Amino acid sequence: MTRKHQATAEWLKPTVRIFKNMRNRLIRDGKIKSGVAPSYFIEGMLYNVPVSEFGVSYANTVDKCWGWLNSPPDAGALMCANGIHPLVRDNSHTSWPIQGYLDFLAETQKLWVQWK
C-alpha cells in the first residue's frame, strides 16, 4: 500500500479514507450492515485502481475510481493488496463476498452523488 500511495502522488490513502467515511455513514444510516465492507477490502478495492485514475481533486479521483471499478475487469479479476488472494469471491474467508462488494459500490455511489 505504501508504494501504491507514493505512486499516486499520495492520493491513495486520503481516497481510502473518503470511502471508509462513506461506509461509516452508510452503516449509521442503516443502508448497509456493519461488517459488509471491512477496511481491508476497501483498501484492496482501491489498490486495484490504476495510478492514472488518481489526482486533480478528491471529487475527480472518487469519480474516476468508480468509473474504473464499474468497467472491465470484472470484480473476479480484482486481487487483495497482498497480491495473493482474490479480492471478491464467495465462500472464502479471505475474500469479499460478491454481493457485499456490489452493495457497497452501489450505496457509496448513491451517497457520493448526494454529497456532491
Global pTM? 0.92
CA distances (Å), 11 to each of 21, 38, 66, 106, in order? 16, 20, 15, 22
pLDDT at 115 over 90: no
| Residues 93, 95: Cα–Cα separation, whole Å | 6
Residues contacting 90, CB < 8 A, separation 6+? 97, 98
pLDDT for the residue numbered 70: 85
Q: For the segment 36-83, what is each residue's pLDDT rounded down to a tens digit?
A: 999 999 999 999 999 999 999 999 999 999 989 988 668 889 999 999
**The pLDDT value given to residue 76:** 85
Residues 22 and 43: their CA atoms lie apart, in Å, by: 13
**Average of pLDDT values for 95-104?**
94
Mean pLDDT confidence for 81-87:
93
Residue 21: how many CB atoms within 10 A of its CB? 13
Overall domain count for the chain: 1
Identify the domain containing residue 52 by its residue range: 2-115
